Structure formats: structure tokens, C-alpha cells
Amino acid sequence: MSDEPVWRTTSGSVSRRLFIAGTGSILASAALAGRATAASPRQAAVADGARVPALVIGSGYGGSVAALRLAQAGVDVQMIEMGMAWDTPGADGKIFCTTTSPDQRSFWLRTRTKQPLSNFLGFPIDKDIPRYTGILDAEEFSGITVYQGRGVGGGSLVNGGMAVTPKRENFGAILPTVDANEMYDVYYPRANAGLGVAGIRPAWFESTDWYQFARVGRKQAQRSGFPFVFVPDVYDWDYMEREAAGTATKSALGGEILFGNNYGKKSLQKTYLPKIAATGRVTISPLHRVTQVVPASGGGYTVTIEQLTTAGAVSAIKTVTADKVFFAAGSVGTSKLLVKLKATGALPNLNGEVGKGWGDNGNVMVGRANQIWDPTGASQSTIPCGGIDNWAAGGAFAEVAPLPTGIETWASFYLSITKNPNRAQFTWNPASRAVDLNWQTAWKQPGIDMAKTIFDKINSTEGTIYRTDLFGTYKIWGDHLTYHPLGGAVLGKATDNYGRLAGYQGLYAIDGSLIPGNTSVNPFVTITALAERNIEKIIAQDF
């Protein structure tokens, strides 16, 4: 692996639009300057026996915020990331593969794809692939498959980039112990600016074929009396317009999403990670997985790390001593580590809240079959830009999502975020020596009922029906998965009000594990803003 790889760039110009979100927040303009030539932090396999001031487990939103702010405060940081660097093109000259032709790069250590939409026209679409440390993990627990990004940049590599600040009146239910004024005055604006959040140009939205599916979604929502709200994104909208004009290589308009975007999407590879590189204080070790954290005899913590091959085999085991350790392995990764470490006696003083309060952000998916006079378009951008807001009345916020199949399907497709109150718990299973999650498929029913407050009404207004061919044969609801795992080390319960883990000094959770199961909208802006808030306090008081 080279030391200073240059990320594939969008050659995007700066988007300086101020975009007033339908959610009511005024979002900062994109802060990327000029033609992007982004660099990653220094990459090196961490040395066995090393001693570091701060070790960050994971390189998604929480981990990137922690590493950046620590380094800017003068602290040397070692980041450990179990996934690949995603900086080197494959045989086809591209770093990432497309959704239509998934290859070994698509899935994390699987021999067969596990597409979120398993069927099309009733036929299964999964296929065999070589086992490889691919970008999307479909992690299976008893009642739910949890999709997560794997690699330097975490979930930002695979997600749809929908960057939504929750409505302020909902914030008290999301993070009840956090000062909302501070969040909306300081940390949400900081997160939105740091992530490069912007909105689609309204005139282009109204005219382009690529968003016909969203205009149909808006028309039908409004005809049933629901507000349609525009949703900002971290995709470079100017670049997308050039894709449509034929002057830029297609990415969002070329079926890229889920397994990475080669162009156009401002993942953390183009926002926080180049800023981290610029500090010169951060080293990152891709294909390294933390398995153990235990107090060291001379102070600090001994961290055990497995180095992985791209086939998933362990090629080396190392120990590193860190004065302070930041758990940023994502809701599932952090929860699994903490539950195991408490149960196996490595960190017995972690409190009984560890592993609890996990939720799916109420995710449920559904498709509707439109009338023949309401086609949704053969050409669909992979990036959603709007949603239907029935949160207050029905407990559901539904993204109008694309189905970019390349043919006319007359389908409208939605990912709903619902107020599903069910919460699950991670526990250590001594027999299998693995961490279980006790979620049950039936626990999705409240979320389905909430989503139905929107779609039953639309179907009745339009005289239409649900699709039954997307998640199996004659199956309406995509109730088997979540894209938005949240909780497991809940703020103010497993930690203090800033993410310091109870029972130990110098151990922190700083990712989606802090959020108690639901954010009312897509979660990564809230994860980023909360991490910005917490790390500021931690640097001021603990370093």
C-alpha cells in the first residue's frame, strides 16, 4: 500500500448554495474548495508493541471527527480500520463496482451477494462472488440483517449521502440530555459545513428526467395531503448536472451507490479525511481489526489488533498501548466490542447499560405499483432528494427512493424511518463466543403500521397497490433489515453526557452507539454533530 495515495476526485466545483431544508434547518454551504485533490491520512500497518497517546477504533463519522479534532489539538492519533483503504483501482480501472454488476468488491467476506432488494419481478437477483474484504457488510443477527460500510470512511463509502438535520422539535426525544441550543447553534452547522451538505438546484429538479421518480413521489404525496420535503445530500449536485449533460463520467446517474461512488459523492474520503491528513499527526492502519482492550499495568490500555488479508484471514496479531481509546466502530462494532470486553473480564467495570438501547431507526422499505399513466422513468439517479413527512401525525418519514433498473417499472420505492419504539440488546454468548442481538422480525410491525399511515392513503387516493416482487415472492414489506443501526452504548447511560464510558478513565464511545435507537431522520449528520460536541469537551477537560 502506498504511503500517500491520492483519492479519485470529482473535479467538482464548489457548491455555495444555501439550501433551506424541508426539515426547517438552514444548512451550511459546502465547504470544499476548488478542484478536489484529496489525500488520505498516512497509511501504515501499526507496529507491534507501539505506544500511542490516542487510538481510534474505526474510521466512519465518529472516528473521523475524533481523529481530526484530537490531531488539530496537537495529539498524535493512531486510527485502526478493519476494512480496506479503497484508494486503488481494480482491473476495470475503477475503485468501486456498480450495483448492477457486483463483484468481489461489493460484499464483506461473503461468497454470495445479499442485496437489500433481494428480488426483481419476483426473481431472486443475488449471485456468487469471490470471498473478499468488500465494502458492504450485511451482518446477520437472529431477526435482522444490519448493513454497514467497511473501509476507510466507514458508512460514508456506501450510503446515499442523505444529510438530514432533525426538526428541532423532535430533538428532545432523540438525545434528551443534550442541550438543543448548542446543537442547533454550533454543532449541527459545524457538521453540515464539514460534510459539505447541499441541496439539488430546484430548477434542475423540476426539469430533469433523472428525478421524474421523485416528482411522481411528490405529486402523489401532495394529492394525499402529505408534505413533500427536499432533503439535502453530500453528493456534488453540480457534478451530477454535468453527468446529465454528458460532460462528466456518470456515477449517481450510472447506477453507482451501495458499493461506493467513483465520482460525485463527498464521502469522508473527500471531507474529513483530507483534513486529517493535513494535520500530519494521524496514521491509519486499514485491514486491522481491534479484538481486545484491557487496562495496561503501567497506565493506559493494551489494545489487541488482528491484521487481515483481503481473504479475511488473520496474518498477524499485534498489541499496542494507548493512553486513551475511542470506540468509533459504529453502533454494532462498538456494542459488540464493549459487550464482549465486559463479559469476558477484560473491562468488567463497564456498567450494565452496555449493549442496551439498540434500535433500527424504524427502517422499513416498500414499493408501490403506479398506474400506467404515472411512469417513474427508465433513467433514475441513485441519490434520493426528497421525502414525505408524516412524523408528527403518523410516526413516519419516508424517503422517495430510486429504483435505478434502467427500464420503466412504474414502481415508486420508499425507505421509511419510523418511530418504532422497540429496542434490542446485545449479549455475550459464551457457547458460540460471539455477541448476539435479540431483535425479532415481528418487532418491525409498529414501523410497518406507521409507514402504512402514508402509503395506504396514497394507494387509496391513486387507486394503486403495493408491489409484492421486491423482497421475495408475494412479500410487500422490506422488514428484514436496517441501514441505520443506532445505540448499544447510549449517551448518559453507558457513558456520561459526553461519551466517557462508565467505569474507566480514558475510554470513550463516539459514534452511532451513543444514540438511543432513533433520530427521526437519516442519522449521519446527528452522529457527526454529536461527535463534534463531545470531542470538544473531552479535549478541553481530559487532555
- Shortest reach from residue 138's CB to ligand FAE, in Å: 9
Which SS3 state, helix, strand or coil, does residue 134 take? coil
Identify the residue among 512, 518, 520, 538 touching ligand FAE (CB under 6 A).
512
Which of 198, 527 has the CB closer to ligand FAE? 527
- Shortest reach from residue 23's CB to ligand FAE, in Å: 12
Identify the residue among 524, 530, 533, 534 touching ligand FAE (CB under 6 A).
524
Which SS3 state, helix, strand or coil, does residue 30 take? coil
Residue 312's nearest CA partner among 540, 66, 84 is 84
Longest dimension (CA), the chain: 73
- Shortest reach from residue 510's CB to ligand FAE, in Å: 8
Which of 150, 250 has the CB closer to ligand FAE? 150
Interaction between residue 258 and ligand FAE (CB under 6 A): yes
Which of 480, 484 has the CB closer to ligand FAE? 484
CB 460 within 8 A of CB 450: no
Binding mask 425-464 for ligand FAE (x = CB under 6 A): ----------------------------------------
CB 96 within 8 A of CB 261: yes
Which of 290, 529 has the CB closer to ligand FAE? 290
Identify the residue among 159, 220, 251, 534 touching ligand FAE (CB under 6 A).
159
Which of 150, 419 has the CB closer to ligand FAE? 150
Candidates 88-96, 325-333, 389-397, 463-471: pick the segment binding ligand FAE (CB under 6 A).
325-333
Identify the residue among 31, 80, 401, 450 touching ligand FAE (CB under 6 A).
80
Question: Cell numbers 426528497 correspond to what residue?
Answer: 386
Cα-based distances in Å from 206 to 210, 348, 377: 10, 58, 14
Classify strands 301-308 and 288-295 as parallel, antiparallel or unpaired: antiparallel
CB atoms closer than 10 angstroms to residue 206: 10
Candidates 197-205, 406-414, 498-506, 523-531: pick the segment binding ligand FAE (CB under 6 A).
523-531
Interaction between residue 23 and ligand FAE (CB under 6 A): no
Identify the residue among 22, 154, 355, 359 touching ligand FAE (CB under 6 A).
154
Candidates 96-104, 203-211, 329-337, 370-378: pick the segment binding ligand FAE (CB under 6 A).
329-337
Identify the residue among 254, 359, 386, 523 touching ligand FAE (CB under 6 A).
523
Binding mask 338-377 for ligand FAE (x = CB under 6 A): ----------------------------------------
- Shortest reach from residue 34's CB to ligand FAE, in Å: 26
Which residues, 6+ apart, have CB-to-CB distance to 248 below 8 Å?
A: 11, 239, 242, 263, 264
306 strand-pairing partners: 289, 317
CB 142 within 8 A of CB 441: no
Window 49-68: residues binding ligand FAE (CB under 6 A) = 57-62
Window 271-290: residues binding ligand FAE (CB under 6 A) = 289-290
Which of 107, 410 has the CB closer to ligand FAE? 107
Q: What is the DSSP letter of 61?
A: H
Which of 411, 417 has the CB closer to ligand FAE? 417
CB 513 within 8 A of CB 355: no
Interaction between residue 527 and ligand FAE (CB under 6 A): yes
What does the block give as the cell for 217? 413521489
Cα-based distances in Å from 497 to 50, 52, 109, 179, 517: 31, 26, 36, 10, 17
What does the block give as the cell for 148? 454497514
Which of 15, 307 has the CB closer to ligand FAE? 307
Interaction between residue 330 and ligand FAE (CB under 6 A): yes
Which residues, 6+ apart, have CB-to-CB distance to 392 below 8 Å?
A: none
Angle between helices 188-195 and 272-279 (to 10 degrees): 90
Q: b/e per residue, 127-143, with b = 16+ CB within 10 A?
A: eebeebbbbbbbbebeb
Interaction between residue 488 and ligand FAE (CB under 6 A): no
Identify the residue among 21, 31, 77, 82 touching ligand FAE (CB under 6 A).
82
Cα-based distances in Å from 75 to 67, 293, 298, 336: 9, 20, 20, 27
Interaction between residue 149 and ligand FAE (CB under 6 A): yes
CA angle, corner 264, sides to 262 and 269, nearest 5? 70
Interaction between residue 102 and ligand FAE (CB under 6 A): no
Interaction between residue 483 and ligand FAE (CB under 6 A): yes
Rounded Cα distance, 294 and 276, in Å: 27
Question: Cell numbers 416482487 correspond to what residue?
Answer: 469
Looking at the annotation, which residues are catalytic? 399, 484
Classify strands 396-401 and 411-418 as parallel, antiparallel or unpaired: antiparallel
Which of 106, 390 has the CB closer to ligand FAE? 106
- Point out which residues bind ligand FAE (CB under 6 A): 57-62, 80-83, 147-151, 154-155, 158-162, 258, 289-290, 328-331, 333, 337, 483-484, 511-512, 522-524, 527
